[in-house]
A and B are shown apart, each in its own frame.
Chain A
């Protein structure tokens, strides 16, 4: 099998980073749009002499809720920023995936998919560059969703087993007409990302994918 060159890996990293930035920008613009519209409504009600109306109290509640959601997004982005720091040499797989899935929430909702993350009680730290892990997880998650119909589900399970951190993606609800036609070039890049993380990747029947990484304390 011909090796995957650095340029292909760099392209994969850029594509995932661009997709995550796009998801964050989309979500943030939605929060800002709701806040802007809600503030406008409060002003309009005041101008119409209805400042004390029930609508105003409701609008203020909406503002509080939206600010909370925007702050959560900022925390998620901050977590991703730390994970992507050039100096990072290991990472908590569960925390990285929580940040990734936080950003992917709307993406999943638009596809009528449910994504459930199961993490162990204690951090499952693995060695390697977290940027590579995020890129690999993003690629696998995106492709796991492709054959799923509305109402499909992906369970993402993180487990620590002795010296290994195991991350499993288990999709269910695959459309009957969706054939198994994995793109071998994509899989080669996925395997290379896992190799560069010091781990390995296993593709199983039913779209199940498992990443095995060396655990660190």
Chain B
């Protein structure tokens, strides 16, 4: 399997950069985007296998961004990764077919397992 492309969308720069570096050390092609506009541009350019999305970005409703990314990445999977999730947003995220929801801070082992499971589902959907 080629290295998975992971897009981290989070306005906490230091968090996204550190997580991106840790994923790269584990062989992932990880990039970070800090705004909704950057996230959409990066998603279109990179076609990531997995997006780690914080729903609490400035100036945008997280659920709307999730829907737009979903349309843009029919073969990609989206995992919500947030420091705080409104229960309604969590329900809406699951309804909109987010692959999973993780609360920050998250153990690397747990995150990798989720990314791999998401990637497997994405590959299997693409093969249909």
Separation of A44 and B83 alpha carbons in the complex (Å)? 23
Q: Are B22 and A44 in contact (CB under 8 A)?
A: yes
Q: Are A110 and B21 in contact (CB under 8 A)?
A: no
Interface of A: prevailing SS: helix
Chain A residues whose CB sits within 8 angstroms of the CB of B45 once the complex forms: none
Q: Are B84 and A29 in contact (CB under 8 A)?
A: yes
Chain A residues whose CB sits within 8 angstroms of the CB of B117 once the complex forms: none
- For chains A and B in complex, what number of residue pairs have CB atoms within 8 angstroms? 64
A25, A59, A62, A110: the one within 8 Å of B59 (CB): A110
Q: Are B56 and A29 in contact (CB under 8 A)?
A: no
Residues 8-32 of A contacting B (Cβ, < 8 Å): 22, 25-26, 29-30, 32
- Is A34 engaged at the interface, CB distance under 8 Å to the other chain? yes
Given the known interface contacts A109-B58, A112-B58, the answer about A34 and B14 at a Cβ–Cβ threshold of 8 Å is yes
A30 to chain B, nearest CB (A): 4
**Interface 9-mer from A35-43, A124-132, A194-202, A203-211:** A35-43
Q: Are B57 and A33 in contact (CB under 8 A)?
A: no
- Is A4 engaged at the interface, CB distance under 8 Å to the other chain? no
Separation of A55 and B20 alpha carbons in the complex (Å)? 12
Interface of B: prevailing SS: loop
Q: Are B18 and A38 in contact (CB under 8 A)?
A: yes
Residues of B within 8 A of A (CB): 11-12, 14-15, 18-19, 21-22, 25, 56-59, 83-84, 103-106, 108
Given the known interface contacts A26-B84, A30-B12, the answer about A44 and B25 at a Cβ–Cβ threshold of 8 Å is yes
Chain B residues whose CB sits within 8 angstroms of the CB of A48 once the complex forms: 25
Separation of A44 and B27 alpha carbons in the complex (Å)? 13
A152 to chain B, nearest CB (A): 11
Given the known interface contacts A44-B25, A55-B21, the answer about A38 and B14 at a Cβ–Cβ threshold of 8 Å is yes
B28 to chain A, nearest CB (A): 13
Q: Are A33 and B59 in contact (CB under 8 A)?
A: no
Sample 5 A-B pairs with CB under 8 A, ordered by A number: A29-B83, A29-B103, A30-B104, A38-B14, A55-B21
Q: Are A34 and B15 in contact (CB under 8 A)?
A: yes
Which 4 pairs of residues, A with B, have the shortest CB-CB distance?
Answer: A33-B104, A26-B84, A36-B105, A29-B83
Separation of A122 and B22 alpha carbons in the complex (Å)? 49
Chain A residues whose CB sits within 8 angstroms of the CB of B25 once the complex forms: 44-45, 48
A26, A41, A45: the one within 8 Å of B83 (CB): A26
Chain B residues whose CB sits within 8 angstroms of the CB of A175 once the complex forms: none
Separation of A34 and B103 alpha carbons in the complex (Å)? 13
A112 to chain B, nearest CB (A): 4
Query: Which residue in chain B gives the minimum CB-CB distance to A23?
Result: B84
Chain B residues whose CB sits within 8 angstroms of the CB of A150 once the complex forms: 59
- Is A111 engaged at the interface, CB distance under 8 Å to the other chain? yes
A64 to chain B, nearest CB (A): 11
- Is A82 engaged at the interface, CB distance under 8 Å to the other chain? no
Chain A residues whose CB sits within 8 angstroms of the CB of B21 once the complex forms: 41, 44, 55
A26, A33, A44: the one within 8 Å of B105 (CB): A33
